[in-house]
């Protein structure tokens, strides 16, 4: 301690070793950097003075070069360990997450998201085929044997909407629910539930995408079964309208989540010329961007489902809302490109 | 860092900064990561319970008003709003806790902070927002899904329970089967978990005698001949440095004995610390002078 407390020049004079004098001449910078880094690690960014923030990159380089020199000239293990840890801590700050969450979000909305979606175009195509196939399979299964309906559709769904229900009952399930209570609670519940399912859909891509495909097919088979049910009583268009209000957004979101999962699964199964870890990492980060957007889409879908669907009670109006949402998403993802290309 | 414990040595990696400086990093141990996870889960559950209790008590107050008022009144709307708040809060605690904290300047959740570890990019680049999102979305199938399945199934459900347990174990044991202890989420994101370094700057060795008055060491009490200094190398110097910094009487004494015997001196008896201090300073001066000339002596066995 003593050497540190005495005036710096005297201490430097007193040090017998060249490498210790080297250290004493520079430790002021080291300690300043340490103080800045410690304060920034504690998240007290506002309390770090501007001149310190400006000095940070320069100090980081100074200390990093001190480390390089010390490694070649000093055998003081404790000082070397200190410098290594300090450079690493400063490195994490200087090269840490560059943007705040808010800045990232701005870039994300303004091009990052749509670029990521375009980046997984092929997987979206596959996921779309799977969902279409699932719908057809659901329809065919139920039309060949209505008993299938009960195994496809979870029991809490089948309040009145079962095979053999009259047209009036089914019609009532689509229209005239404006006076329902607790719509906002319903919307929040739907969002939480759907978001969890889509996260699952993505995460399961880790098993080479196989469970993702199964989940996509299973969920759309349910849709096919319901379509068949309403088709049987001649309410196909009304059902499509009822569904499309939120469904164009929600199904699109599920499509994207599934595609994101497939994208990761595909990178694991066929990494191409890159090492697997690198290929999967790149695919995973692109898919994560898509997934952040999926959560946003599901918020929109839940609001539409909880409010718009119950308030708008005619099929043409519902179809136009759903159609507009679909067009909106398509235009946003595929027509909206920032010049100069925001990277995926 | 050559003489670390072998179990730590197996976790040592080298990371190269953009300036071209190789930095040693230590991969976080499995124990630290498991501990961090348990702490975080504990915090999450605690905060969930607290939020629920607060919202329920507020709702209880509102429900009292509701009895007096008619349905569809402001009170009913308030109740609905509380319900919405609860659902969204639960969703955020489950999904955003890790996200929020790992994006902070420390790259660590409170649990990771306590156990002294942090998240970093595996390739040595920036830790990006996408990485943190990706590694935490996977948590859902790694942890939450199988736990829910196991809990809802129970042991009686037979094959389902085995499947859920196998699933759970597969992901929990994933870090055991790769070198850098990546969990599935780390693989997807291209991230890894490393120890967050924290070293204090120690005293200057040659400027003052440690533990005694600050008499400059330049006036060395003991001087050693070239032949006496040529016995040891850098490894022994580091060991001696540690002994002097730790300053435990027993080890100082035994190290003094072995060095004195090796170089054939016995004049430092009763003044071991000063003797070793002077020997350290002169040995280091000699080895560092050699370094500047490009001559290094790793340990006592090398020439």
Inter-chain CB proximity B206 and A195 less than 8 Å: no
Name the token pair of A106.
Answer: 């701005």
Domain boundaries, chain B: 6-138+175-195, 203-303
Per-residue pLDDT, B43:
93
- B133–A contact, CB cutoff 8 A: yes
A161-172 pLDDT, tens per residue? 667 677 777 777
- B120–A contact, CB cutoff 8 A: yes
Per-residue pLDDT, A159:
60
Per-residue pLDDT, A344:
37
Q: Which residue has the tokens 């957004």?
A: A249
Contacts of residue A326, defined as CB under 8 A and 6 or more positions apart, other chains included, come to A244, A248, A249, A252
pTM of the model: 0.75
Contacts of residue A336, defined as CB under 8 A and 6 or more positions apart, other chains included, come to A111, A114
By percentage, how much of chain A surpasses pLDDT 90? 3
Average pLDDT over residues A37-48: 75
| φ and ψ of B237, to 5 deg | -60, -45
B254-284 pLDDT, tens per residue? 888 888 888 877 777 777 788 888 888 888 8
Provide, as residue numbers in chain B, all residues whose Cβ is less than 8 Å from the Cβ of A191: 87-88, 91
Per-residue pLDDT, B47:
92
Inter-chain CB proximity B206 and A89 less than 8 Å: no
Average pLDDT over residues B34-52: 91
Measured CA to CA, the distance from residue B7 to residue B29 in angstroms comes to 10
| φ and ψ of B158, to 5 deg | 65, -120
Q: A2 pLDDT exceeds 50? A: no
- Mean pLDDT computed over every residue of chain B: 78
Conformation bin of residue A111: beta by default, left when phi > 0, alpha when psi is -120 to 50: left
- B292–A contact, CB cutoff 8 A: yes
By percentage, how much of chain B surpasses pLDDT 70? 84
DSSP string, A188-246: HHHHHHHHHHHHHHHHGGGTTTHHHHHHHHHHHHHHHHHHHHHHHTT-HHHHHHHHHHH
Q: B128 pLDDT exceeds 90? A: no
| φ and ψ of B26, to 5 deg | -115, 125
- Mean pLDDT computed over every residue of chain A: 79
Per-residue pLDDT, A171:
75
B159-216 pLDDT, tens per residue? 767 777 887 888 888 888 888 888 888 888 888 888 887 777 777 776 554 434 444 4
Q: A98 pLDDT exceeds 50? A: yes
Residue A68 CB burial class (10 angstroms; 0-12, 13-18, ≥19) = middle
Banded pLDDT at A129 (limits 50, 70, 90):
very high
Q: Which of A19, A196, A285 sits opposite B189 (nearest CB)?
A: A285
A138-177 pLDDT, tens per residue? 888 888 887 777 777 766 555 666 676 777 777 777 776 6
Residue A164 CB burial class (10 angstroms; 0-12, 13-18, ≥19) = exposed
Q: Which of A15, A95, A189 sits opposite B87 (nearest CB)?
A: A189
Q: Are B140 and A111 in contact (CB under 8 A)?
A: no
Chains A and B form CB pairs within 8 A to the count of: 232
Per-residue pLDDT, B39:
93
A267-322 pLDDT, tens per residue? 888 888 888 888 888 888 888 888 888 888 888 888 787 777 777 777 888 888 88
Measured CA to CA, the distance from residue B267 to residue A73 in angstroms comes to 31
Average pLDDT over residues B131-160: 76
- B211–A contact, CB cutoff 8 A: no
Contacts of residue B22, defined as CB under 8 A and 6 or more positions apart, other chains included, come to B14, B15, B16
Q: B44 pLDDT exceeds 60? A: yes
Nearest residue to B95 via CA among A113, A258, A196: A196
């Amino acid at each position: 301690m003593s050497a540190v407390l005495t005036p710096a020049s005297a201490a430097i004079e007193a040090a017998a070793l060249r490498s210790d004098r080297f250290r004493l001449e520079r430790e002021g910078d080291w300690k300043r950097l340490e103080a800045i880094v410690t304060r920034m690690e504690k998240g007290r960014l506002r309390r770090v003075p501007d001149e310190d923030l400006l000095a940070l990159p320069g100090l980081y380089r100074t200390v990093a070069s001190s480390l390089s020199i010390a490694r070649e000239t000093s055998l003081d293990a404790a000082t070397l360990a200190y410098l290594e840890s300090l450079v690493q801590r400063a490195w994490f700050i200087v090269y840490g997450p560059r943007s705040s969450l808010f800045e990232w979000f701005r870039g994300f909305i303004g091009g990052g998201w749509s670029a990521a979606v375009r980046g997984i175009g092929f997987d979206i195509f596959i996921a779309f085929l799977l969902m279409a196939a699932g719908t057809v399979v659901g329809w065919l299964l139920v039309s060949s044997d209505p008993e299938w309906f009960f195994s496809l559709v979870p029991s809490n769904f089948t309040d009145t909407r079962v095979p053999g229900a009259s047209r009036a009952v089914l019609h009532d399930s689509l229209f005239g629910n404006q006076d329902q209570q607790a719509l906002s609670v319903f919307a929040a519940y739907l969002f939480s539930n759907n978001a969890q399912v889509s996260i699952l859909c993505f995460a399961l891509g880790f098993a080479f995408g196989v469970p993702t495909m199964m989940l996509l097919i299973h969920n759309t088979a349910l849709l096919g079964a319901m379509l068949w049910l309403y088709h049987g009583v001649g309410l196909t268009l009304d059902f499509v309208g009822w569904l499309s209000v939120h469904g164009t957004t929600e199904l699109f979101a599920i499509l994207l989540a599934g595609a994101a999962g497939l994208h990761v699964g595909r990178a694991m199964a066929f990494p191409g010329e890159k090492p697997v870890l690198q290929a999967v990492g790149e695919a995973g980060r692109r898919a994560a961007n898509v997934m952040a957007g999926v959560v946003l889409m599901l918020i929109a879908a839940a609001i539409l489902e909880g409010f718009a669907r119950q308030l708008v009670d005619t099929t043409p109006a519902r179809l136009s809302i759903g159609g507009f949402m679909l067009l909106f998403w398509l235009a946003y993802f595929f027509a909206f490109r920032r010049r100069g290309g925001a990277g995926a | 860092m050559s003489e670390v414990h072998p179990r730590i040595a197996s976790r040592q990696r080298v990371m190269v900064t953009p300036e071209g400086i190789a930095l040693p990093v230590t991969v976080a141990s499995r124990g630290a990561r498991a501990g961090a996870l348990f702490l975080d889960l504990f915090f999450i559950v605690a905060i969930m319970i607290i939020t629920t209790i607060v919202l329920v008590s507020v709702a209880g107050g509102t429900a009292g008003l509701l009895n007096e008022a008619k349905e569809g009144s402001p009170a009913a709307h308030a109740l609905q709003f509380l319900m919405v708040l609860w659902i969204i809060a639960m969703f955020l605690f489950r999904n955003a806790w890790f996200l929020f904290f790992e994006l902070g300047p420390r790259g660590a959740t409170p649990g990771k902070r306590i156990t002294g570890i942090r998240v970093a990019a595996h390739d040595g680049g920036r830790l990006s927002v996408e990485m943190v999102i990706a590694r935490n979305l996977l948590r859902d199938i790694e942890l939450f899904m199988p736990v829910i399945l196991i809990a809802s199934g129970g042991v009686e459900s037979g094959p389902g329970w085995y499947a859920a347990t196998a699933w759970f174990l597969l992901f929990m044991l994933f870090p055991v089967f790769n070198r850098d202890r990546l969990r599935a989420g780390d693989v997807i994101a291209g991230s890894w978990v490393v120890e967050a370094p924290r070293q204090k700057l120690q005293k200057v060795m040659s400027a003052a005698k440690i533990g005694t008055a600050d008499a400059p060491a330049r006036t060395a009490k003991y001087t050693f001949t070239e032949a006496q200094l040529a016995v040891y190398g850098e490894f022994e110097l580091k060991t001696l440095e540690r002994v002097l910094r730790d300053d435990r009487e027993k080890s100082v004494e035994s190290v003094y004995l072995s060095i004195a015997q090796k170089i054939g001196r016995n004049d430092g008896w009763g003044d071991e610390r000063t003797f070793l201090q002077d020997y350290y300073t002169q040995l280091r001066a000699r080895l560092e002078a050699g370094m500047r000339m490009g001559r290094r002596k790793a340990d006592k066995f090398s020439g």
